[in-house]
Structure 1
Amino acid sequence: MRIFIAGATGAMGTRLVGLLTEAGHDVFGSSRNDTGRAAVDALGATGIVMDPFDAASVDAAVAEAKPDVIVHQLTALRSMSGNLKKWDRDFALTNRLRTESTDHLLAAARAHGVRRFVAQSYGGHWTNQRTGGPVKTEADPLIDDPGKEARQSLAAIKHVERATTTAPGIEGIVLRYGNFYGPGNTMSRTGEMGEAVRKGKFPVVGGGTGVWSWLHIDDGAAATVAAIDRAAPGIYNIVDDDPAPMSEWLPYLAEQLDGKKPMRLPAWLARPLIGEFGLALMTTVRGSSNAKAKRELGWAPHWSSWREGFRSGIG
């Protein structure tokens, strides 16, 4: 197949380029500049310079690639402040990529006869409803209001999911990835989040009862290849087998990073520091089930639990 990866120079995009070229596909990948285009070429694919916010540029890139499948992996997560009270500000560019760029890519797909479209979404914790059981499936609705700090980000996630799965004439597939860890990610030994955990700057708040779903970046890439090959249209949670509360995974992660034991803060003390949204991340969010992806994609994570992944795969 001819496959066009929008966002081929990111942590996920570079892995997809490698896996798909090794499988014998003709791979084309976008970057925003010539340096990135050359990096895609060096991976064995064909790099294309594309401005994801310019409809004409997106159309021209898709016209050049002539793909059978478009894979939307556009994000902008390299300069996060870590301030949970500024979530929407930090995700502003990614939110535009999930709205404006999604629309441009879908329009180009329709214009050039591309029938299959695979888009990145998120399902690691905060988008899930915070009532009921600790783990949610694709059949459960997303939360109505995540808190004022993340309303724009939720709207963008809902947009990419709705636009992808309802586009006329398109086989739309949405992958809700869990919280990434592994080499090249912010959650690694050298990443910003990993460094914060190692230095003891990431506390357990309240009872640490917020449930998170994790995913090694390489497992995410493998699941994406499986989705390209055989997913029916729809939404899939791509997470590991072990959703867990913060009180379990955070101290273990700190230990694996040779870091300080996380401090514990009562909720009332943390609230003014991290806001209501931040408090929810620590205490009330819910994880996600991967049963549908395992059943329908024939995929299973190599790192089935963050316990093993943090120990030997975090990078």
Structure 2
Amino acid sequence: MRVFVTGATGALGRHLVPMLVDAGHEVTATTRSSGKTGGLRAAGAEPVILDGLDREAVIEAVVAAQPDVIVHQMTALADMKSLRNMDKTFAATNELRTRGTDNLLAAAKRAGTRRVVAQGHIGATARTGGPVKTEDDALAPDAPSRTSARSMAAIKYMDEAVTAGAPEGIVLSYGNFYGPGASEMLLEAVRKRQVPVVGGGTGIWSFIETTDAAAATFAAIERGAPGVYNVVDSDPAPVSEWLPYLADILGAKPPLRVPTWLGKLLAGGFIVAQMTEWRGSSNEKARKELGWEPRYASWRDGFPVWADR
């Protein structure tokens, strides 16, 4: 097939492009940086320098490629430093999840591309009820903080726009990335004992290793009915379990423990919600309908490999 991959040099795209080329697909891969075209060409893809917010340029590039599938992996997270003000940190990514998504959907329609596979996130999952959510569960009606409202709205917007705007629209709601090319900031912060357990650490997190996420994306290119799929490992776990474990394998001191009120004062409402209220996600639908199995079924197996890199 002809596959058009946007954000091809990101944490996930860098693994996905070689998978597609090795499988015999013809890949057009976009980047915003001219300095990254050589790597894409070496991987076997046809590179295109593209700003996802330039509507006419997006349409022109897609129409020229005439893809069977478009893969939307556009984000702007390389310089992410803090989550205290989510909307400020994610401002460019939110634009790509909204305007950028609209541009790709318009391009798909113009080119006659039926299947669009987009990068979503489990961050908008409801924070009440049972500990593990499926794709059928309602999303949170509100953001966990005033400074994360636009970011949560952008995640929801992508879910709705892609599944309604493409004949075969698929949104992959990824868990928290770790592994090659992802979350180095978290490792450094845990080593420095800068990530405390807030409250009781009762927030449930679902993780996904980056090459496993790429494998699920590859699967969604070739199969799966339209809709939303949670792409997470099989071991949702509270912060009180995974954070001390990560500190231990990094050879760091155990994380500090702070009360909820102090966590909110120091880090803001979004971080406190992550630490105390988040719910995990089930991967049953993705495993069943995409025929995908994560290589690292648990972060307990994947974290040591990540930490050793």
Same fold (TM over 0.5): yes
The match for 1:151 is 149
Given that 1:52 and 1:101 are in contact with CA atoms closer than 8 Å, whether structure 2 keeps it comes out as yes
For residues 123-176 of structure 1, the C-alpha deviation after alignment (integer angstroms, 9 at most, x for no partner) is 1xx4111111111000011111122121100111111111100015x2100000
**Offset at 1:201?**
0.4
Identity of aligned residues (%): 53
Match of 1:226 among 219, 222, 226: 219
The match for 1:133 is 130
Given that 2:28 and 2:47 are in contact with CA atoms closer than 8 Å, whether structure 1 keeps it comes out as yes
1:10 counterpart = 2:10: yes
Report the Cα distance in structure 2 between the residues aligned to 1:29 and 1:276, rounded to whole angstroms: 37
Equivalences for residues 94-109 of structure 1 within 5 A: 94-109=93-108
1:302 counterpart = 2:295: yes
**Offset at 1:64?**
2.1
Unaligned runs of 5+ in 1: none
Given that 2:124 and 2:156 are in contact with CA atoms closer than 8 Å, whether structure 1 keeps it comes out as no
Report the Cα distance in structure 1 between the residues aligned to 2:260 and 2:33, rounded to whole angstroms: 45
Match of 1:235 among 224, 228, 239: 228
The match for 1:282 is 275
Given that 1:49 and 1:61 are in contact with CA atoms closer than 8 Å, whether structure 2 keeps it comes out as no
Given that 1:236 and 1:293 are in contact with CA atoms closer than 8 Å, whether structure 2 keeps it comes out as yes
Unaligned runs of 5+ in 2: none
Match of 1:291 among 275, 284, 297: 284
The match for 1:166 is 164
Equivalences for residues 208-219 of structure 1 within 5 A: 208-219=201-212
Size of the alignment, in residue pairs? 307
Match of 2:246 among 248, 253, 256: 253
**Offset at 1:260?**
2.0
The match for 2:85 is 86
Given that 2:239 and 2:275 are in contact with CA atoms closer than 8 Å, whether structure 1 keeps it comes out as yes
Please give the secondary structure, in 1, of the residue aligned with 2:177: strand
Aligned residue type for 1:33: S
Aligned residue type for 2:160: R
Normalised by the size of structure 1, how large is the TM-score?
0.95
Equivalences for residues 41-56 of structure 1 within 5 A: 41-56=41-56
Normalised by the size of structure 2, how large is the TM-score?
0.97
Report the Cα distance in structure 2 between the residues aligned to 1:47 and 1:206, rounded to whole angstroms: 47
4+ residue runs over 6 A deviation: none
